[in-house]
Amino acid sequence: MQRIALFEKVSKKQFLADLQANGFSADKELYEDIRFPKRATKGSAGYDFYLPMDLTLRFEESIRIPSGIRCKMESGWVLTLYPRSSLGTKYQLQLDNTVGVIDADYYHAENEGHILIQITNHSLKKETVQLKKGTAFIQGVFLPFGITEEDETDRRRVGGFGSTG
């Protein structure tokens, strides 16, 4: 296994600002309790991301969750995000962009590379989903990537979430 990345917390100021911007109470205690992503077993590819707060998500409701986490990784790697299997199959929780893509240069974005995760409740039973703080809800998998031989891109990232679109 190659060790190519490091998870860090964003600053408390950034976390609290992103909580407020996404409709959450800017509770300073939430910052202290942020858990770093972790693999569940030695053979796991995915790093579980944990909810930093209790969450209630009504049927067909979408919400953007500030994780409090940023990721410093080597060039040539990407962190991809997927719903945890248990939440996808039990509640049909889905990432709004189907697969999250965290580029290495996102770490240097204006928002400190804060990983924001937007999910929607598509429950087949049309039920409200309630998840407790600390629940593993997303998993991140590191993947190497390549570029074409004629690629001459030299633009640098400035913005945050969705800024390259």
- For residue 27, give both structure tokens: 């509770």
- pLDDT at residue number 106: 96
CA distance 84 to 89: 9
Integer Rg of the chain from CA: 16
- Across the range 117-145, mean pLDDT stands at 95
- Across the range 150-158, mean pLDDT stands at 81
The answer for 162, left when phi > 0, alpha when psi is -120 to 50, beta otherwise, is left
CA distance 3 to 5: 6
What is residue 105's three-state secondary structure?
A: helix
Cβ contacts of residue 76 below 8 Å, gap of 6+?
104, 144, 145, 146
- pLDDT at residue number 86: 83
Q: Summarize pLDDT for 70-101 with one digit per residue, the tens.
A: 999 999 999 999 999 888 888 889 999 999 99
- Across the range 50-60, mean pLDDT stands at 96
Average pLDDT, the chain: 93
CA distance 43 to 31: 30
- pLDDT at residue number 47: 98
N-term to C-term CA, the chain? 32
Residue 52 has pLDDT above 80, yes or no: yes
DSSP structure string for 52-101: SS-EEE-TT-EEEEE-SEEEEE-TTEEEEEEE-HHHHHHH-EEETTSSEE
Residue 28 has pLDDT above 80, yes or no: yes
pTM: 0.91
DSSP state of 17: H
Split at pLDDT 50, 70, 90, the class of 160 is low
CA distance 130 to 124: 15
- Across the range 59-75, mean pLDDT stands at 97
